[in-house]
Amino acid sequence: NAGVTQTPKFQVLKTGQSMTLQCAQDMNHEYMSWYRQDPGMGLRLIHYSVGAGITDQGEVPNGYNVSRSTTEDFPLRLLSAAPSQTSVYFCASSPPSGTPSTDTQYFGPGTRLTVL
Amino acid sequence: AQSVTQPDIHITVSEGASLELRCNYSYGATPYLFWYVQSPGQGLQLLLKYFSGDTLVQGIKGFEAEFKRSQSSFNLRKPSVHWSDAAEYFCAVGAPGDYKLSFGAGTTVTVRA
């Protein structure tokens, strides 16, 4: 298993540009989520999904869009990038409810995004 | 809603010395508690987790943590640190069945020779 993969690893955008951060997992996990990590603030939840076709907002959803058309993929879209979105973005997934590892999240390696 | 406080932003410890990282949580019932480690430039790796049962939890890399309900704490310990333990450590709390985690701000550990 490749686990949770994220692309790209690094990205530089100009203010106003849009882009999609990719996230994929090959563990058949139902739950997937996106976090952003900023210095001194830990990880904050942006959006999450409990299965294909189901998404919901987390703590800091503004400026981001998600969709979940398959179990494997959970892309994060920045609609119009702003300097405040400069951050490191992590995707995570969790096994289906009721399995031994319920509520344990597996993280991808992260995408470092800079918005100029 | 649950929340986590990690009081120490940065800890410096000598190689071979013991390490304790503090974590306090806020949650109305028994939470799910986690410690994750992030090495420089890497993603987060689960060190250990507490769901229920024995309040002393053993994890990977020689780490352990103790759940103390009376103090709303879940402190992480290691008896003897290695230079490779230099990293950022995050405590996280979750509500059973909720999938969402709330993370603390993290504690950066520096290991000196």
Do residues A109 and B42 touch, judged by C-beta distance below 8 A?
Answer: yes
Q: Do B44 and A90 touch (CB under 8 A)?
A: yes
> What is the maximum span of chain B, computed from C-alpha positions, in angstroms?
43
- Residues A69 and B81: their CA atoms lie apart, in Å, by 45
Shortest CB distance from A109 goes to which of B43, B49, B98? B43
Q: What are phi and psi of A102, to 5 degrees?
A: -50, 135
Interface of B with A (CB under 8 A): 4, 6, 9, 32, 34, 36, 42-46, 49, 51, 90, 92, 94, 96-106
Q: Is the pLDDT of residue A109 over 60?
A: yes
Convert the pLDDT of each residue in A34-76 to its tens digit: 999 998 888 999 999 988 999 999 999 999 999 999 999 999 9
Amino acid A99: pLDDT: 53
- Residues B45 and A19: their CA atoms lie apart, in Å, by 27
Our CA-based measurement puts residue B1 at a distance from the nearest CA of chain A, in whole angstroms, of 11
Convert the pLDDT of each residue in B23-42 to its tens digit: 999 987 888 899 999 998 78
- Residues B110 and A57: their CA atoms lie apart, in Å, by 35
Q: Is the pLDDT of residue B47 over 70?
A: yes
Q: Is the pLDDT of residue B106 over 70?
A: yes
Contacts of B94 in chain A (CB under 8 A): 103
Amino acid B67: pLDDT: 95
Q: How confident is the model at residue A79 (pLDDT cuts 50, 70, 90)?
A: very high
Mutation choice for A interface testing from B2, B35, B100 by most A CBs within 10 A: B100
